[in-house]
Structure 1
Amino acid sequence: MGLAKQQEQKILYISPLSLGDVEFQERNLGLPVRAVNQEEFIERVFGHFKGHLCVFLKRADGTPSNTFYKHSEKERMYKYLQTTFGINTYVSYSTFYQKVKKHKSDILRTQSNIVHTYMLVQDLDYYKFGMTDAECLQKIGQMVAKGELICPTFIVSTGQGYQLIWLLEPFKNIAGYTNDLDWRRIQDHMYEQLKELNSDSVVKNPSAVTRLPGSRHNKTKNLVYGFLANEVTFTLQDFLWFYDIVPVADRSVKPKKLNKKKATVTTIVKNWNEYTLNKQREEDIFIFVNVQNERGKSYIGIRNWLALVLRFHALVSSDNDTEYAEKRVKELCEIMDMSETDEEEILRRSLPAETYYKQWIEDTWDRNKYLRGGLFYTNSRMLELMDAKEDYYIQWKMKTIKIKNAKYEAARKRFEKYGEEEADKHTWEAFQERRNEKLASDKADKLWQLEEALDRHPEWTNKQLMEHLGWSLRTIQNYKKKLHK
């Protein structure tokens, strides 16, 4: 399979240009890498960050030190790093709001103080198993080549082992909410996956720190090196879909006796009863797949999740009719792109819906593991996972999965008035584009007219050109300047 799985829906691997003293890493990893210095590492990971970046020092006697810097204080931070060279130096996964303690007992490097989180990290202590650096890199390379592991953005040689870092689009990380729980599930999954390389559980905390390239490991006296292995910046969803991790459900729904009588379907979700809402959620999944089929747009990465959610809602709408729920998944398989999978696999992947349903009904779901009972998602979360937050056409087609804001309402009116094919021609952006094209065309036409007139009558004055072309004196003067640029 190679890197094929990493390119099913989004490109998850872009090789860097091989650069620096990287022969050992490339030979064992089997992939090109680029050596990066301390400044480039910080720039690539954090960019123009918000909040305060934390530099953590751990002195030889075990004394810890957290120092916080704003983006505008980077130069001061680099000077500080020069003076602390030789001390174990780390940088935080996240940035933080507060940098000064209000009370002596305050802890600044904690999740409640996080502005954004920037990375996923796995710390590998394989050397404790008697494994060499070369063997570790070879194992990582094999896992990437087989499509078992997303190629990390950075491989950091810590002076004693390796740390793998996946660069993320910065996200808010509030404890107990969807981003936090998704991030932790991904970290847990990769921690288990890399146990053969003696992965360290310390990485499961988003306020943790990682070794900073360009520093020195105090115990071994070895330098810490950073190697860029992948140019991609990821989202949490990339990892959820790649590893088939079920995204955290974020909508709270209390189980109650289902109304089997058919109710009138309205377009306002809050007015729907439990049967009609869940039944229409089923239909919306079919609508989503059909529209993407018509467009030729891939949804391969989320097929298993779509089937799982469909099966769950079918169980809710049918009052736990497992045969009906299975039948609905089979019907979805009939219209889905089934490349590199089959009905049996999709049915197997969607079967846990019965467990989610049972735990929701019985109120026995694990509060530490799951944010809500069941597999109910808010519309915003569903659209985010479907990559359709700004896809107003597909929202318009679906009955329940939509966000009725001003942009949606404007798009809905265009679709209803002009249809899908013509709707995009009637947006403000399209109008501006047509206007700019016309202005550019008019400008080119005027320049051509003036140039032709001057070629035929180089002796003409501005007044004669005004009479000939029918333009104002100011227009003649402006276009003459443009001709001479």
Structure 2
Amino acid sequence: MIEQLNALENCSIDEAKRHVMFHHYKAAGWITLAQKDRDGSWRQYHYRPEQLASELSEWLGENVFFSQNTFFKPQRRIENLKQLRALYVDVDCHQLNYDPHWVVEKLNLEVFQETVPLPNFIIFSGRGLVCVWLIEPVPYQALPLWKAIQNHFYKHMEYVGADKKSIDSTRVFRVAGSTNSKNGKEVIIEYRHDYRYVLRDLQEEYLPELAPSKAKKTGRKSKLVYLHNVRNLHYSRLLDLVKIAELRKYDLKGHRELVCFLYRYWSCCLTDDFEDSLAQMLEFNSEFKNPLRKSEVIKATKSAEKAWEAKNNVLANEEAIAKGYPGAGYNLKNSTIIKWLEITPEEQRHLRTIIDINEKRRRKRERDKHAFREKNGSVSRGEYLCKQKERTEDKLWQLKGAIQRHPKASNVRLAQIIAVSEGYIRKLKKQI
């Protein structure tokens, strides 16, 4: 594939098509194209993969970007993720006065194929660089694991200027062939290979402690496993929040401020980016039947950022733990969220994690019924109980015979004789 890409004519539009085709090969969902004007304003549009290459010529110029992952509807928001298609780290080496090409050579010697794998390509964005690792597409449910690996890559490149805000799942990066208006340089790409990594393989090689079986064996969760589980919870709750809005047809009067606050807080926890979280929350608010005014909703949800800052502050966490809390930030119980948002039992049936004890019990009964049907086929519960009664009576008869033959035998010995557990022996003896 790289040979085919390198055969393309060396001009701006072909460079852009090469970049996009290489990154989003056989993609599904919507891809965002965006352009940033010199005054800082953004315009963006969403295209299907088959449309994207043909539309690039209309966009190419200064400050053109495209999304690294795809979305199931034309909105670049975290809850709309369809496919996670790449891992990436943006290195703002210009802030440390490092030359981008010198940084690449340093990473070649000290990082690549040592603590992180070799990237598929490197974008020289004008003043810095972006390392991109293509992965076999995974659905949005893999976001917490994807985020954990992103953080791992970022930490090993932080010393050369890696930007933590650049590793969220809705990120856009510059398109090859476009220009950076800050210095007039053209965006170019250095291709390395076309192998797509498998997310689970990366986890096993670089973050083995996140393997479920190993986490259970230790009996003690590491900090990384804890953070991974917390990300899982935050993402599930964010999706639940959006589902509540959908179920209520975005008529959230009486709960608008709280819903926006929770969205902004959980989004901050997932993206580590205040500006991006705010932008996504404002877009979410705009979908309400009666949206809050921009200035009003920004002011009403400002404390979400402060809570996130506290959550990521070592001293604040220590003080919170000393007071008996799990940590700083908002550690809300399901019962509290249900009460605040007045979530009905019927609504809870459609949610992932924001559910009460009754809904948990209902789901357990459903799982038990399903397991029963899987195990016993089409046998009715009446027939099953009848068979169980016959089995119990048979074991009682066996136990009485064993006691007659071995009157001094212990419960353990009797269990061995009739091939049941010691606990079942005690249960049967009560019926003699």
TM-score by length of 2: 0.48
TM-score by length of 1: 0.43
Indicate the structure whose relative CO is greater, using CA pairs within 8 Å and at least 6 residues apart. 1
